[in-house]
Every structure is written in structure tokens, then in C-alpha cells.
Amino acid sequence: MSLDTLPPHQGGAGNLARLLAQALLAGHWQPGDIFPRELDIGSHFAVSRNQVRNALTSLTAAGLLERTAGRGTQVREMSDWHLLNPLMSEWMTGLVNLDPQLVRAIYAFRYSAEPVVAGLAAQAAETEDLQRLEMAFEGMTQTAGNIEARAEHAEYDVAFHDATYRASHNLVWRQMGHLLRPSIMALIHRSQHRTDTLDDSLARHRQVLDAIRSRDANSAEIAAREVLRRTAIDLGIVN
């Protein structure tokens, strides 16, 4: 695979990295393939070798590439990717057609993890956590009506789930909130965003909020699972 099909480079710090990463995430190269040389990338995008090396350093840190002096740069397979690297989430978020295998893997993780997180949140949430949850839910409610505000609605959705992870008051769980954005943003491209499904989604979110507010860990677990069942349908995952 070559660089020819990639969009032009617009400048900016992490832009080149994002460009290359998204091409890799989209499957432009196969695992084991040799990635273009530093100098080729540099001349193709008209940037210095330094910028190329900076970008490749990021991709290497994310587990997308493996570099060895003399041999070159090799593309690693999906199981080696560092899905929890925040940069990865950023790159995945902007991708219109995320690999279905990835969407499914992230969903499966959320389905097994988020009930637990919601339960912890019900036990540990403090006033400000509840405020964050309520504000996010309020935002979801107000943007549910018009189709224009799809992106904004998704942002509130992300904020709601992120607030849940934060409310667990655990440093590790909180980091995983990064995974939410690409997972929820995938909804925009995959679901029809119909009014009745949105109402259903809202109702299920409200149950999570209520359970956490009343410090009922069991109910929170169950409600979180229900939210994700709704998500599965909207994502087109049979399950």
C-alpha cells in the first residue's frame, strides 16, 4: 500500500500522526507489511524528517508500528494495538468506518465492565459526580428532539458515561472513559437516530441516573446493562 490515497497534510502538530494512524486503523496496510520509509513520507507530505519521526513515535507508542534500525517500519497486528492509549481514542473517534471487529470488541468490553462501574459509582458518587451526571442527562434530553443536533447529543452521551466512570472514584476505571468516545460516536454513523429509539435510550439512561442517585448498586448494574442492550441494537450488533 502506498501513501497516494491519503488526504493532503494540513499542518498542525499531531495532524500527520492522525492521518497515518487513521489510514492504519482503516486497514490500508496489512499486519506485517513494511510501512513507507521516513524520507518517502517526508517528501510525499512535504514535511521535514523530524515531523515524520515525531508522528511515527506516536504511532509506535500506540502499538500500531514496530520500528527497527536497518530493517524499517513494520505494521503490527490489531491484537498489539494499545486501545487504551488516549491518542488511539482520538484517532478512532474521527474515523467514519471503524473496523466492525473493533466496534464489537469495545462493545463487548463495555457490556461486561460498565455494569460493574455503574455499581461502583452508586457506592462512591459524591455531589459533584451527581451534578455532572444530571447535566449530561439534561443535555441529552434537550438535544433528543431535532436530528440536527446528532453530534451534540452524542457528546452529552459521552459525557454521561464518562461521568459514570469518574463517579467510581477509581483511577484505573476512570482512564477507560477514553474508550467511550469512539464507541458512542460510532452510533452516529450506524443508527438511524429515530425518535422512538432515542426516547427509549433516554429512559434507560434515566434509570441509571436514578439508581446512582439513590445509591442502589444493584439497580445501577441492571440499568447500565439495559442501556447497553439499547446501544447494541443501535450499533447493529446482533449479540
Residues near DNA, by CB under 7 A: 13, 35, 37-39, 47-51, 53-54, 56, 67-73
Q: Do 36 and 76 meet the contact criterion of CB atoms below 8 Å apart?
A: no
Phi-psi sector, 27: left (phi>0), alpha (psi -120 to 50), beta: left
Give min distance, CB of 3 to DNA, in A. Answer: 13
Q: Which does 46 bind (CB under 5 to 8 A by kind): a copy of itself, DNA, none?
A: none
Within 117-156, which residues bind a copy of itself (CB under 8 A)? 117, 119-120
| Residue 82 binding a copy of itself, by CB under 8 A | yes
Residue 176 binding a copy of itself, by CB under 8 A: yes
Closest contact distance (angstroms) between CB of 96 and DNA is 27
C-alpha cell at 193: 437516530
In whole angstroms, the minimum distance from the beta carbon of 48 to DNA comes to 4
Residues 6+ apart with CB under 8 A from 219: 122, 207, 210, 211
Specify which residues 137 forms β-bridges with: none
CA 11 → CA 14, 16, 19, distances in Å? 9, 8, 11
Query: Element (H or E) spanning 73, and its range?
Result: strand 72-75
120 touches which of DNA, a copy of itself, none (CB within 5 to 8 A by kind)? a copy of itself
**Cα–Cα dist 224/116, whole Å:** 9
Query: Among 174, 190, 206, 213, which residue sits at the site for a copy of itself (rule: CB under 8 A)?
Result: 174
**Rule CB under 8 A: which residues touch a copy of itself?**
57-58, 61, 63, 78-79, 81-87, 102, 105-106, 108-109, 112-113, 116-117, 119-120, 170-176, 179
